[in-house]
Structure 1
Amino acid sequence: MASLPQFNPLRLRSYIFRLPLCTRVLIAAIVALWVATIPFSWLKEWGSLEPDKVNFGTMHRLNLFPLLHLNFFHMIFNVLALTPLLERFEHEFGTLVTLALFTGPFGTLPGGIYTLLEKFVLRSNTVVMGASIWVFLLLSAEAMKTHKTNPNFSIGPYKIPTWTTPLILVLLTSFLVPNVSLIGHLCGAGIGYLWASGYIKFLVPHEKILRWIEGKLNLLGRLPHYVSVDQKTYGRYGVLPTTMGTIPRSPEPGQRLGP
């Protein structure tokens, strides 16, 4: 009789200790803010994304809302879903790129689109918060990469495009989980598709600038678990070849997106 896989706390401990720097910082910020909202419940109202309250004086909402959560279960499920996706992203693109994107445009872009849709299209004011918008953003980016090597998967006689997987998950989540934002998740997924397709790669600083910053501040030497733009866990330009040959280069200067 085949035995069921057993939980190994040593493996979990080893996995946590191997997490790259920015992933640690963002996950720690999510947990810390959840703890802070217990005595300071006003933090949720202050940092949540409420479309009617978004203006030039409250732009912090667009950056903070993915870090805030309604309750413990909301927080822990998002942390469990986000951590492996965020870790993979940071190992592929580096700590500086991850920090720049997830403290900037990966919050402001989907949050801004959601705010505009709620205000001017849906004429609503639904408040949202939570890192699930990042989860679907990263799932969409991964689905686009997988689509290039495996365009379809089969369910019975039907062939379904691989890139649609996150959209199916968005719909299932909206039906099965109460009080989730279908529009918010779609906004996150949309930015993920744009990122993986290369349309918003201009948001990342040029690689020469990143190398200069890393060298000037000696970040690789000073910061434990820091991932340099030149480190290749998954590969800055894809997985390195195992046979002798020329290392594949990006087709144009800057960040390469996709496998």
Structure 2
Amino acid sequence: MRRITNMRPNIVSEAGVSTRLNQWWENIPFLTSAVVVVCGIIYVVCLLVGYDSFTEVCFLPSAVISWFQVYRIYTSILFHGSMLHVFFNMTALIPMGSELERIMGSVRLLYVTILLATSNALFHVLIALLVAHNPIHPYENLMYECAIGFSGVLFSMIVIETSLSGVQSRSVFGLFNVPAKWYAFFLLVVFQLLMQNVSLLGHLCGILSGFAYTHGLFNFLIPRTSFYSSIESSSWLSSCVRRPKFIVCTGGNLSSYIPTHTSENSTSSGILPGNIWRNLSSFMPQRGVSAQTNEDSRFPGRGRTLGASQGQMASHLHSDSNLHASLLDNSSPNHPLESTLGTNRKLSGGRHSADNVPTATAVVPPPQGAIASEEGIKKLVSMGFDRTQVEVALAAADGDVNVAVEILMSQQD
């Protein structure tokens, strides 16, 4: 046997491209990754069969009104006209959709996406009708424009995420700052100037839907959290809910409404440094922690992975995203959320409204490193378990190796 004398200390960081891509993909939540897969498969199928007219599936206001072809509202967001079209839309969706899905939960984000797509279409038809039949200068071309792509919903998400982050301005390419409330409009103008065949009305309606959502105009259409929980507990969705990437809807916000936040003198960071997917998207700036003092008393429930342990909760709170850090630093007090894992452990989860809880103390879970010992981690890793899962399991088991093994084995079933 040959003795190995020199082993690279950074061998983990030198993992293959396939391993890194697999880890990156596993970190994308269930619904976001599902939308990426569906849109990608649809485009590949269209490419193979040579389908490129899209007249039967695009959003065509005249067809929706004259023949009541409502299906176009939803087919139009899944089809894309070119490789670059689907590529840039999906790379923009991955960071933004993942962020919102971790906050809302998978089922809630699906409902919100359908709501945004529907409201986008209604705004689109209404504006097209007003422009086509205005008495001053009728312009009927908008009634016959064929629009496809997920970017209308993406513009709505940009407005929602920008409002939720609480920043006052966003840095674009590290060159200049744009006021947060005008950021989506700035992107709209840039895309119109730099790209051809871009639907101005489709993107504009996405922005309008985003503002309508953040200002609470759709609150009467948004069900309570129990509605999403009943869907998650149904048998026909059980196979999806059991998947590790699925985010369960939890929290104390009964209206499921994501409120707007106000902050003073806060700025978000630029979009060039860091992850290549964020650089390519050009939609999503990195979020910065804002110093805000005022907030809507209604707070969105944080989504959590099914069967999440206390260690996972701590990991999400401390390192999942800068947006979560911003929310935690400036939100109303926590209230305990009970979750069962083996024995009855209590996790700090959703939040009470400030009106319901006059005095409370914020509960922050301890970091994983305080519980999981390096010796126990090495012992479980040597048994073939993934190190990240080992750390989470040890944190959930309060450092008990035997309990951690049971948790790891149950996750593999």
* TM class by smaller structure: 0.7 to 0.9
Partner of 1:198, secondary structure, is: coil
Q: Compared with structure 1, are the counterparts of its residues 70 and 134 closer, same or farther at alpha carbon in structure 2 (3 Å cutoff)? A: same
CA contact (8 A) 1:137 1:191 kept: yes
Query: Letter of the aligned partner of 2:78 in structure 1?
Result: L
CA contact (8 A) 1:151 1:161 kept: yes
Counterpart for residue 111 of structure 2: 100
- Please give the alpha-carbon distance, in whole angstroms, between the structure 2 residues aligned to 1:83 and 1:210: 23
- Please give the alpha-carbon distance, in whole angstroms, between the structure 1 residues aligned to 2:354 and 2:46: 46
- The equivalences for 1:205-224 within 5 A come to 205-217=223-235, 219=238, 222-224=242-244
Alignment pair present for 1:20 and 2:59: no
Q: Compared with structure 1, are the counterparts of its residues 61 and 136 closer, same or farther at alpha carbon in structure 2 (3 Å cutoff)? A: same
TM-score by structure 1 length? 0.80
Counterpart for residue 114 of structure 1: 124
Partner of 1:175, secondary structure, is: helix
Q: Compared with structure 1, are the counterparts of its residues 213 and 250 closer, same or farther at alpha carbon in structure 2 (3 Å cutoff)? A: farther
Counterpart for residue 186 of structure 2: 168
CA contact (8 A) 2:156 2:206 kept: yes
Partner of 1:67, secondary structure, is: coil
Q: Compared with structure 1, are the counterparts of its residues 42 and 162 closer, same or farther at alpha carbon in structure 2 (3 Å cutoff)? A: closer
CA contact (8 A) 1:143 1:164 kept: no
How far the C-alpha of 1:48 sits from its partner, in A, is: 0.3
Query: Letter of the aligned partner of 1:91 in structure 2?
Result: R
Counting matched residue pairs gives: 240
Alignment pair present for 1:73 and 2:116: no
Counterpart for residue 182 of structure 1: 200
Q: Compared with structure 1, are the counterparts of its residues 154 and 229 closer, same or farther at alpha carbon in structure 2 (3 Å cutoff)? A: closer
* Percent identity for Structure 1 against Structure 2: 21
Say which structure is richer in helix. Answer: 1
Greater RCO (CA < 8 Å, at least 6 residues apart)? 1
- Please give the alpha-carbon distance, in whole angstroms, between the structure 1 residues aligned to 2:125 and 2:195: 22
How far the C-alpha of 1:203 sits from its partner, in A, is: 2.8
Residue-by-residue CA offset, 1:29-70 (whole Å, 9 max, x unaligned): 111111222216177221101111114641000111111111
Query: Letter of the aligned partner of 2:112 in structure 1?
Result: L
Query: Letter of the aligned partner of 2:249 in structure 1?
Result: V
How far the C-alpha of 1:177 sits from its partner, in A, is: 0.8
Deviates more, 1:202-211 or 1:105-114: 202-211
Query: Letter of the aligned partner of 1:106 in structure 2?
Result: L
Q: Which of residues 81, 88, 102 in structure 1 aligns to 2:99?
A: 88
Residue-by-residue CA offset, 1:166-216 (whole Å, 9 max, x unaligned): 110111111111110112111101111222233213333211222233234
- Please give the alpha-carbon distance, in whole angstroms, between the structure 2 residues aligned to 1:205 and 1:252: 21
How far the C-alpha of 1:160 sits from its partner, in A, is: 4.8
Q: Which of residues 158, 166, 169 in structure 2 aligns to 1:139?
A: 158
Alignment pair present for 1:32 and 2:52: no
Q: Compared with structure 1, are the counterparts of its residues 185 and 154 closer, same or farther at alpha carbon in structure 2 (3 Å cutoff)? A: closer
Q: Compared with structure 1, are the counterparts of its residues 246 and 138 closer, same or farther at alpha carbon in structure 2 (3 Å cutoff)? A: closer
Partner of 2:128, secondary structure, is: helix
Counterpart for residue 256 of structure 1: none
TM-score by structure 2 length? 0.52
- Please give the alpha-carbon distance, in whole angstroms, between the structure 2 residues aligned to 1:205 and 1:20: 22
How far the C-alpha of 1:77 sits from its partner, in A, is: 1.2
Q: Compared with structure 1, are the counterparts of its residues 154 and 139 closer, same or farther at alpha carbon in structure 2 (3 Å cutoff)? A: closer
Deviates more, 1:86-95 or 1:206-215: 206-215
- Please give the alpha-carbon distance, in whole angstroms, between the structure 1 residues aligned to 2:145 and 2:97: 27
Partner of 1:209, secondary structure, is: helix
Q: Output the aligned Cα RMSD.
A: 3.2
Unmatched 5+ stretches in structure 2: 1-13, 132-138, 251-302, 305-315, 318-322, 336-350, 357-413
Partner of 2:32, secondary structure, is: helix
Say which structure is richer in strand. Answer: 2
CA contact (8 A) 1:170 1:186 kept: yes
- Please give the alpha-carbon distance, in whole angstroms, between the structure 2 residues aligned to 1:61 and 1:111: 9
Q: Compared with structure 1, are the counterparts of its residues 176 and 249 closer, same or farther at alpha carbon in structure 2 (3 Å cutoff)? A: same
Counterpart for residue 257 of structure 1: none
- Please give the alpha-carbon distance, in whole angstroms, between the structure 2 residues aligned to 1:154 and 1:73: 25
How far the C-alpha of 1:154 sits from its partner, in A, is: 8.1
Unmatched 5+ stretches in structure 1: 1-5, 254-259
